[in-house]
């Protein structure tokens, strides 16, 4: 199926800063793409370009085949966008603000009322609909921004840090809402919370200094961690000392590292060493509290690809 969002060769410079540097990707229906990256990486700038709020220096964006610069109104009709910080009109109430947005979107009468009711219900705004927005907590302000983006039930959603400022329960609610909507939409969310990527994204792009430095499913990204398929042993220093040479001699073992609570056995890429390690420990009759396989953590990969010269746990430094 054709991609719903097609981004090709986006570049944007602010003075000396190359905020977005040759960014290309596509998003299909049913996908939730996570934009991951440190502060200042260029996530919000890319989102502002994708949604037509900022002109790129070069590159193209097509939403359902429609070029955002050639036909901005048509392209935005099926797009919901929550900008960074979820700006809205603070002197309005959520009800007034959503009514205003409904009017802009071309809804009136009972259709407008139904849409406002649905968006308010999805984002759980019911208790604050008549209170002025400037008196709301950050979490509620964020949900007003989300309701505004969902009001016309768009098929494309671009949400800039949708869970920023929410408490853990509210974060969970918003993630659940995104998951529920995902099947029929193409969604991009930005975040610097790695667990969010695992929780809601089918794919993630890691951005650093405006460039895409990694692109894959959360599992694919984790597999690039220096910890991936490694075996961690919890044991006393003395036991570790007795095991190191034999572990090093095992087929498929690349390296054995001493860690605060034991050892970390790093495999040669592609090797599955867990059973070999287990057998060795049993044969030697040593007391090892725990032997476990590690799948790698997004956090390690994130650090490896976003910090210049940075390696996570002495990772392989395997960069794109
Ligand atoms: N309007 C602007 N004028 C000048 N510099 C900007 C502007 N918007 C963003 N930048 C700069 O571009 C870079 C990327 O910013 P941004 O896209 O907001 O990053 P992120 O959302 O990943 O934190 C930063 O260095 C930021 O200071
Ligand atoms: Mg941002």
Does one domain contain both 142 and 278?
no
pLDDT digits (tens, 9 = 90+) for 212-227: 999 999 999 988 888 8
pLDDT of residue 278: 94
Structure tokens of 131? 């209170």
- Going from the Cα of 19 to the center of ligand 2, the distance in angstroms, rounded, reads 11
* Atom 5 of ligand 1, residue of closest alpha carbon: 14
* Atom 12 of ligand 1, residue of closest alpha carbon: 19
pLDDT of residue 1: 56
Does one domain contain both 199 and 236?
no
Does one domain contain both 101 and 66?
yes
- The β-bridge relationship of strands 58-63 and 5-14 is antiparallel
**CATH number for the domain harbouring residue 98:** 3.40.50.300
Q: Whole-angstrom Cα distance, residue 213 to residue 220?
A: 14
The ligand that comes nearest to the alpha carbon of residue 10 is 1
Q: Nearest-CA neighbor of 49 among 17, 88, 12?
A: 12
Residues of the chain with pLDDT under 50: 312-320
Report whether 209 contacts 41 (CB < 8 A): yes
pLDDT of residue 138: 85
| Ligand 1 pocket member 191 (CB < 6 A) | no
In a domain, 304, yes or no: no
In a domain, 33, yes or no: yes
Does one domain contain both 207 and 101?
yes
Q: Whole-angstrom Cα distance, residue 248 to residue 115?
A: 64
In a domain, 301, yes or no: no
Does one domain contain both 129 and 236?
no
Does one domain contain both 149 and 249?
no
Show which of 176, 191, 217 is a domain's final residue: 217
Range of the structural domain that residue 64 is part of: 5-217
pLDDT of residue 309: 62
In a domain, 79, yes or no: yes
| Domains contained in the chain, number | 2
Ligand 1: which of 10, 11, 39, 42 to mutate, most ligand atoms within 8 Å of CB? 42
Give 136's Cβ-side CA count (13 Å radius): 29
pLDDT digits (tens, 9 = 90+) for 132-158: 999 998 888 989 999 999 999 999 999
Which ligand 1 atom minimizes the distance to the CA of 207?
22
Q: Whole-angstrom Cα distance, residue 159 to residue 83?
A: 7
| Ligand 1 pocket member 53 (CB < 6 A) | no
- Exposure of 108 by Cβ count < 10 A (0-12 exposed, 13-18 middle, 19+ buried)? exposed
Q: What is the DSSP string of the chain?
A: ---SEEEEEEEEEETTEEEEEEEEEEE-TT-EEEEE--TTSSHHHHHHHHTTSS--SEEEEEETTEETTTSHHHHHHTEEEE-TT----TTS-HHHHHHHHHHHTT--HHHHHHHHHHHHHHTT-GGGTTS-GGGS-HHHHHHHHHHHHHTT--SEEEEESTTTT--HHHHHHHHHHHHHHHTTSEEEEEES-HHHHHHH-SEEEEEETTEEEEEE-HHHHHTTSTTTT-EEEE--HHHHHHHHHHHHHSTTEEEEEEETTEEEEEEPTT---HHHHHHHHHHHT---SEEEE----HHHHHHHHHSTT--STT------
Q: Return the ∠ at Cα 96 (arms to 177 and 44), rounded to 5°.
A: 50
In a domain, 224, yes or no: no
pLDDT of residue 316: 38
Does one domain contain both 90 and 236?
no
Which ligand 1 atom minimizes the distance to the CA of 54?
1
Total Cβ atoms within 10 A of residue 67: 15
pLDDT of residue 313: 45
- The pTM of the full predicted model, rounded to 2 decimals, is 0.85
Does one domain contain both 202 and 272?
no
Show which of 164, 194, 217 is a domain's final residue: 217
In a domain, 124, yes or no: yes
Does one domain contain both 98 and 243?
no
Does one domain contain both 267 and 199?
no
Q: Whole-angstrom Cα distance, residue 187 to residue 318?
A: 29
Show which of 217, 243, 276 is a domain's final residue: 217
Q: How far is CA 15 from CA 18, 115, 166, 201, 316, in A?
A: 8, 42, 34, 33, 35
pLDDT of residue 46: 97
Structure tokens of 2? 């054709």
In a domain, 148, yes or no: yes
Ligand 2 is a single-atom ion; what residues have CB below 5 A from it? 43-44, 84
Report whether 146 contacts 162 (CB < 8 A): yes
Does one domain contain both 247 and 151?
no
In a domain, 319, yes or no: no
**CATH number for the domain harbouring residue 268:** 3.30.70
pLDDT of residue 310: 55
* Atom 17 of ligand 1, residue of closest alpha carbon: 42
Left (φ > 0), alpha (ψ -120 to 50) or beta: where does 288 sit? beta
Does one domain contain both 254 and 174?
no
Structure tokens of 37? 């990256």
């Amino acid at each position: 199926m054709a991609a719903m969002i097609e981004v090709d060769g986006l570049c944007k410079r602010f003075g000396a800063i190359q905020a977005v540097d040759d960014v290309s990707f596509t998003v299909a229906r049913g996908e939730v793409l996570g934009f991951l990256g440190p502060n200042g990486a260029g996530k919000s700038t890319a989102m502002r370009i994708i949604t037509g709020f900022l002109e790129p220096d070069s590159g193209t964006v097509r939403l359902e085949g429609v070029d955002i610069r050639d036909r901005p109104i048509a392209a935005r009709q099926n797009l919901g966008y929550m900008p960074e910080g979820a700006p809205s009109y603070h002197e309005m109430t959520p009800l007034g603000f959503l009514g205003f947005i409904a009017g802009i979107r071309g809804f009136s009468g009972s259709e407008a009322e139904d849409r406002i009711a649905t968006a308010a219900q999805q984002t759980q705004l019911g208790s604050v609909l008549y209170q002025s927005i400037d008196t709301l907590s950050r979490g509620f302000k964020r949900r007003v921004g989300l309701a505004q983006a969902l009001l016309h039930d768009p098929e494309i959603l671009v949400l800039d840090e949708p869970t920023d400022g929410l408490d853990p329960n509210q974060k969970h609610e918003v993630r659940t809402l995104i998951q529920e909507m995902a099947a029929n939409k193409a969604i991009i969310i930005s975040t610097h919370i790695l667990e969010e990527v695992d929780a809601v994204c089918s794919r993630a792009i890691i951005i650093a200094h405006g460039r895409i430095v990694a692109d894959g499913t959360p599992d694919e990204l984790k597999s690039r961690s220096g910890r991936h398929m490694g075996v961690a042993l919890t044991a006393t220093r003395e036991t570790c000392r007795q095991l190191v040479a034999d572990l090093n001699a095992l087929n498929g073992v690349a390296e054995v590292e001493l860690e605060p609570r034991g050892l970390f056995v790093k495999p040669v890429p592609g090797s599955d060493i867990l059973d070999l390690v287990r057998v060795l420990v049993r044969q030697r009759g040593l007391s090892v509290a725990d032997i476990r396989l590690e799948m790698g953590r997004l956090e390690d990969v994130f650090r490896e690809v976003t910090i210049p010269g940075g390696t996570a746990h002495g990772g392989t430094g395997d960069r794109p």
